[in-house]
Amino acid sequence: MGQEYNGSEPRKRSPWGVLALVMLTGLALMRNGVDVSLGPPQPASAAALDSPRPDTPEAPALTPSVQPLPYAPASRIRLPDIRVDAPIVDVGLDPEGWIDAPPPEDANLAGWYQNGVSPGQRGTSVIVGHVDNAAGPAVFFNLGSLKKGHRIEVTRYDGRVAIFKVYGVEVFSKENFPGPRVYGDTGRPELRVITCGGGYSKTDGYTGNVVAFAHLVATR
């Protein structure tokens, strides 16, 4: 991990709008995909990457009994419905200004954007991961098969667990990635889990990004 968390003062965060602006140019999470025979599962919207899209579904209102958590870095993510149980490392921006991805050599590894919101905090937290690597499928290969109502659990370094409920799974073209829709602050604790998706070619890699939208429903 990067900077250690000691449970005291929160680390200074860069303005969220900076990240959203960077992401408007497209998200390059995985630049060297492999030609997996059938490709990763895709949400239904993958068939219409370039067609006009309706607004992203709005998350249900936050249950009054679910209070946002204070700041704490993320340490692990579980998506039981697609059999993901992976450690999390901090990631930032690469030299080109893209949000970085975790090292591709470890297929079962996710990355939390450490300059943004922590999972369970008010705002939109972002976790990314590879769809595949040189050896085959990676941590979020099956992200596109998530359904509404599926759960995502994120363990934090303060020992708390933020539990999110999926309310939408979309695929977006990297050329027209809707940063404000994906990363905007909805006023409640939310989570985005992102990997590559859409079409694939050996020369250009993946043409899109699969995005799972989820909101906080419980903590423990």
- Of 14, 68, 41, give the one whose Cα is nearest residue 215: 68
Q: Does residue 91 have a pLDDT over 50?
A: yes
Residue 177: how many other CB atoms lie within 10 Å: 19
Q: How many domains does the chain have?
A: 1
Q: Evaluate whether residue 3 is within a structural domain.
A: no
β-bridge mates for residue 206, sequence order: 200
3-state helix, strand, coil in the chain (%, to 5): 10, 35, 50
What is the rounded distance in angstroms from the CA atom of residue 147 to the CA atom of residue 14? 32
Q: What is the pTM of this model?
A: 0.79
CATH code for the domain of 179 = 2.40.260.10
Domain range for 207 is 38-49+66-219
d(CA 103, CA 95): 15
Mean pLDDT over the full length of the chain: 80
Whether 12 maps to a domain, the answer reads no
Residue 55 lies in a domain: no
Q: Using 50, 70 and 90 to split pLDDT, how confident is the model at 30?
A: very low
Return d(Cα 137, Cα 151) in angstroms, integer: 22
